[in-house]
DNA sequence: TTGCTCCTCACGTCACGTGAGGTGGC
DNA sequence: TTGCTCCTCACGTCACGTGAGGTGGC
């Protein structure tokens, strides 16, 4: 039996969040102490775990509440709908990005665009499921098999000359047999 | 001189939005009619255009208000900060997507994942700046120069066999000289 | 006179955060 | 007795949407 404060700390969320969940009927403490303190049972804790899982998926609390008492099919369906929604949201943010890039180009900017474009591209690929190592391996393979097309591809991404050269150099080194202990982007 | 309702319709936003902008001091009608109707001048309209531009970039109204009376440098800087912010937001949404894919995999799903992954990938590339035609041309070139690697690449994206075959067939046809009148994804 | 547009409050939204004012527990 | 934790309101957030109740304009 945990009080609200302890439970909150245990799950890394705020006490007021728990009070809010109580208020909207999402998660009520199954017991109260004589003084009125909320006391959360193991069952309550289990329910909280489910709630936080679905919250991590970006579902609304109201929807989570309904799903917890619904058949599993409803959950699967809701998650798939959420995936589509996320596609739309990402598209929307991408439009904002491209719009901003347009605004900046109209003005007198020169260098930020190039670096942004590179970092955007990278975060896209990483978000798409590629790890840093995947990217390194991919560049290495590309460079080994068709260095000319590799360069053209990097140019297409508007990555500046110096960066292109650095990426190709790393790719050649990786392809020539050095163990892949390198981290892209940070210190290596 | 336009009233609020007319101005709203002209710019495709709601009348209440304009009232709200007035309320927070973002855009005040420079004149009122004897009866108290808001009358927007050409100057007001020009200011609204600027507001909507920045709103399309996803800036907050409060920030927009400050930027409109600030030097151009501040605007450029704000837009670049917003770009970074967008990267973070997209990352966050991607995490949600990957988390959901994990949840669905734990359950008994089988087919939705494959198709999602494909559509996610495509929307990523399109959002990154590739047009449908760019994609088609890219596949065509890849297929022409190294069909084996092209297939491996598509497989890496977890695109189902049948889709892979279709994409390669289209790519071969495109590379063999047919004019690129085709649309990817819809009917073609 | 009839619609349509306009006006000004005031309240609701979503998931909490932040006090204010008061009590329980070691 | 002193801190720390807990309790219950109540209000603020962001960009509006939605009435309610009342007036202007063709």
Distances from the Cα of B73 to the Cα of A108, A153, B49, B66, B175, angstroms? 10, 33, 19, 13, 47
Interface residues from chain A to B (CB-CB < 8 Å)? 53, 56-58, 72, 76, 79-80, 82-83, 86-87, 89-91, 93-101, 103-104, 107, 109, 112, 116, 119-121, 123-124, 127-129, 141, 145-146, 149
Pairwise CB contact (< 8 Å): B123 & A76: no
Pairwise CB contact (< 8 Å): B53 & A103: yes
Q: Is B86 buried (19+), middle (13-18) or exposed (0-12) by CB count in 10 A? A: buried
CA A90 to chain centre: 11
Distances from the Cα of B180 to the Cα of A40, A81, B169, B172, angstroms? 64, 34, 14, 12
Residues on chain B touching A151 (C-beta within 8 angstroms)? none
Which pLDDT score is estimated for B54?
97
Question: Cα(A148)–Cα(A139) distance, rounded to whole angstroms?
Answer: 12
Distances from the Cα of B159 to the Cα of A158, B31, B156, angstroms? 27, 60, 8
Which pLDDT score is estimated for B153?
66
- Asked if residue A130 has pLDDT above 70, the reply is no
Which residues, 6+ apart, have CB-to-CB distance to B60 below 8 Å? Answer: none
- Asked if residue A173 has pLDDT above 50, the reply is yes
Average pLDDT of chain A to the nearest whole number: 79
- Asked if residue B43 has pLDDT above 80, the reply is yes
State percent of chain B over pLDDT 90. Answer: 44
Mean pLDDT in residue range A161-187: 63
Question: Cα(B7)–Cα(A182) distance, rounded to whole angstroms?
Answer: 58
Q: Which nucleotides of D are covered by protein (CB under 7 A)?
A: 5-8, 14-18, 23-25
Pairwise CB contact (< 8 Å): B120 & A101: no
B32 secondary structure, DSSP code? E
Higher pLDDT, B157 or A183: B157
Which pLDDT score is estimated for A108?
52
- How close does chain A come to B98, measured CA to CA in Å? 8
- CA torsion sign, B58 to B61 to B66 to B71? positive
Mean pLDDT in residue range A123-137: 55
Q: What is the 3-state secondary structure (H, E, C) of B109-146?
A: CCHHHHHHHHHHHHHHHHHCCCCHHHHHHHHHHHHHHC
Pairwise CB contact (< 8 Å): B100 & A82: yes
Range with lowest mean pLDDT among A28-42, A88-102, A171-185: A171-185
Of the candidates B53, B89, B107, which has its C-beta nearest A93's C-beta? Answer: B89
State the pLDDT confidence band at A18, using cuts at 50, 70 and 90. Answer: very high
Return the closest nucleotide (C1') to the Cα of B37. Answer: C6
Q: For the segment B81-130, what is each residue's pLDDT rounded down to a tens digit?
A: 999 899 889 889 988 988 998 888 766 544 444 444 555 555 455 444 45
Q: For the segment A30-75, what is each residue's pLDDT rounded down to a tens digit?
A: 999 999 999 999 999 999 999 999 999 999 999 999 999 999 999 9
- Asked if residue A178 has pLDDT above 70, the reply is no
State the pLDDT confidence band at B142, using cuts at 50, 70 and 90. Answer: confident
Residue whose token pair is 């039996």: A1
Pairwise CB contact (< 8 Å): A124 & B128: yes
Question: Cα(A169)–Cα(A47) distance, rounded to whole angstroms?
Answer: 52
Of the candidates B87, B112, B123, which has its C-beta nearest A91's C-beta? Answer: B123
Asked if the Cβ of residue B55 lies within 7 A of any atom of strand D, the reply is: yes
**What φ, ψ does residue B56 adopt, rounded to 5°?**
-65, -20
Mean pLDDT in residue range B161-188: 62
Structure tokens at B100: 């959901």
Asked if the Cβ of residue B31 lies within 7 A of any atom of strand D, the reply is: no
């Amino acid at each position: 039996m945990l009080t609200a404060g302890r439970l909150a700390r245990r799950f890394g969320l705020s006490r007021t969040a728990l009070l809010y969940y109580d208020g909207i009927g999402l998660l009520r403490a199954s017991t109260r102490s004589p003084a009125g303190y909320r006391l959360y049972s193991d069952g309550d804790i289990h329910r909280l775990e489910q709630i936080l899982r679905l919250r991590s998926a970006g579902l609304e609390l109201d929807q989570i509440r309904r799903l917890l008492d619904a058949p599993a099919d409803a959950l699967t369906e809701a998650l798939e709908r959420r995936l589509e929604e996320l596609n739309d949201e990402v598209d929307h943010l991408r439009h904002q990005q491209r719009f901003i890039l347009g605004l900046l180009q109209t003005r007198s900017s020169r260098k930020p665009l190039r670096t942004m474009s590179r970092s955007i591209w990278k975060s896209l690929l990483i978000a798409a499921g590629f790890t840093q190592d995947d990217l390194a391996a991919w560049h290495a393979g590309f460079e080994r098999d068709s260095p000319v097309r590799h360069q053209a591809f990097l140019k297409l991404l508007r990555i500046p000359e110096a960066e292109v050269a650095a990426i190709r150099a790393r790719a050649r080194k990786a392809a020539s047999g050095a163990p892949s202990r390198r981290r892209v982007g940070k210190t290596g």
